Amino acid sequence: MRLPRPRGDLSAQLIDALASGTPETPALAAGGIGDPSTDDVQLALWILYEQHYRGFEDVDPSLEWSPDLLRLRRTLETPFEAWICDLTATTVKEATEEGDDVVAQLEHLTRDQSGALARHLHREATAEQYRDFLVQRSIYHLKESDPHAWALPRLDGPAKVALAELQYDEYGDGVSARLHSRLFADALEGAGLDPSYGAYVDRASAPTLVANNAMSLFGLHRRLRGAAMGHLAAFEMTSSLPCRRYVQGAERLGLDERVVRYFDEHVEADAVHEQLAARAICGSMVEAEPDLHDDVLLGAAACLVLEGLAGDRLLEEWR
């Protein structure tokens, strides 16, 4: 992947700095960033995070650990994390009112499975809209499960075993053709889209970048491992039923069977994963480290609220 196109002053400066290999550009984020959820800030943060995944062909790989870029990342992350906490406060509070069992709280948070996006894709979307949806989803699914993998070395005991078991399935059960990211690339190809990693970053909406950056924020900070696993649980717990609608929508539109296959696999896989994530991962983790309980709820709420916003953006665009 090559560096994306800038969306404002901050991302333009960052992209220039990365391309020229001179990250000490003094103007970067001087004087605060304002709203952390804008296209410009979110793209800058997404680029900084991407350095820790596959990176960019046109960037010197040693810049992954540039102190100036890490300082910039921190400058963007701190207000972003506070913004997520604000946005999810009522959802988290609602969960805490459901007793103190983390599994029951997660079940309560994810009980509404009536998502408008899934209903639209099921019954009404055009093929063009379905492709828009795949394009937005590609930002995550082409690195599916990678943001949650950061938590593995930070857990121990039953929670670690359960995360490894869940991810073994995400990562293809020993068969590279079954890697979930690969199944998604196949689906993109089947839909006539570009399956290459990062192909659609320039088309990713700000809410899509927000949802992805939240996963990286949780994943890359050991401190936030509870949130990373709460996010995973909420993601898995709200997947099987919508995926069934995505399957039916793809069939209704006569889309390529590779599109159907990706979502079909997730109806079944995520019915397993949701049990592992809620009980075996979050349940055991909170038992071992009770201090992480609140962060699990934060991560779960962030997943639900932010994925909801990304879906709403698509629905707005189609209106």
Partner 1 sequence: MSARRTQAVVVPGGPLLLRGADVVLDEDGEQHEVGRPVVALCACGLSQRKPWCDGTHKLAQGPES
C-alpha span between 116 and 316 (Å, rounded):
11
Q: Please, what is the minimum distance in Å from the beta carbon of residue 200 to partner 1? A: 28
Kindly state the smallest distance separating residue 232's Cβ from partner 1, in Å.
Answer: 16
Binding mask 177-196 toward Fe ion (x if CB under 5 A, else -) reads ---x----------------
| Nearest partner of 212 among 49, 75, 52, 61, judged by Cα | 49
Which stretches does DSSP call E strand in the chain?
none
Which residue from 218, 305, 292 is spatially nearest to 283, judged by alpha carbons?
292
Minimum Å distance from CB 111 to partner 1? 5
CA distance 119 to 133: 13
Q: Which stretch binds Fe ion (CB under 5 A): 76-84, 223-231, 262-270, 295-303?
A: 262-270
d(C-alpha 229, C-alpha 160), whole Å: 11
What's the distance, CA 249 to chain centroid?
23
Query: Which CB sits closer to partner 1, 97 or 112?
Result: 112
- Minimum CB separation from partner 1 for residue 190, in Å? 21
Stretch that binds Fe ion, among 59-67, 189-197, 263-271, 286-294 (CB under 5 A): 263-271
Do residues 92 and 294 touch, judged by C-beta distance below 8 A? yes
Question: What is the helix (H) or strand (E) element at residue 42, kind and residue range?
Answer: helix 39-50
Whether residue 200 contacts residue 184, with contact meaning beta carbons closer than 8 Å, is answered with no
**Partner touching 276 among Fe ion, partner 1, none, CB below 5 to 8 Å by kind:** partner 1
- Asked if 225 touches Fe ion (CB under 5 A), the answer is no
Q: Which does 113 bind (CB under 5 to 8 A by kind): Fe ion, partner 1, none?
A: partner 1
Output the CA–CA distances (angstroms, integers) from residue 48 to 18, 44, 154, in the order listed.
10, 6, 22
Give which of partner 1, Fe ion, none residue 268 binds (C-beta under 5 to 8 Å, depending on kind): partner 1
Residue 169 interacting partner from partner 1, Fe ion, none (CB closer than 5 to 8 Å by kind):
partner 1
Residue 284, binding choice from Fe ion, partner 1, none, Cβ under 5 to 8 Å by partner class: none
**For partner 1, the closer CB: 279 or 313:** 279
Q: 3-class DSSP state for residue 77?
A: helix
Residues 6+ away with beta carbon under 8 Å from 286: 102, 226, 292, 293, 296
- Decide whether 161 or 315 has the Cβ nearer to partner 1: 161
- Does residue number 274 form part of the binding site for Fe ion (CB under 5 A)? no
Q: Specify burial of residue 127 (Cβ count, 10 A radius: 0-12, 13-18, 19+).
A: middle
- Torsion of Cα atoms, 81 then 82 then 83 then 85, to 10°: 90
**Given the rule CB under 8 A, which residues bind partner 1?**
111-114, 165, 168-169, 173, 178, 239-241, 244, 267-272, 274-276, 279
What minimum distance in Å lies between the beta carbon of 237 and Fe ion?
10
Find the shortest distance in angstroms from Cβ 255 to Fe ion: 19
The answer to whether residue 273 forms part of the interface with Fe ion (CB under 5 A) is yes
CB of 275 to partner 1, least distance (A): 6
Residue 180 interacting entry, from partner 1, Fe ion, none, C-beta within 5 to 8 Å by type: Fe ion
Task: Report, in Å, the least distance between residue 279 CB and partner 1.
Answer: 7
Residues that bind Fe ion (CB under 5 A): 170, 180, 270, 273
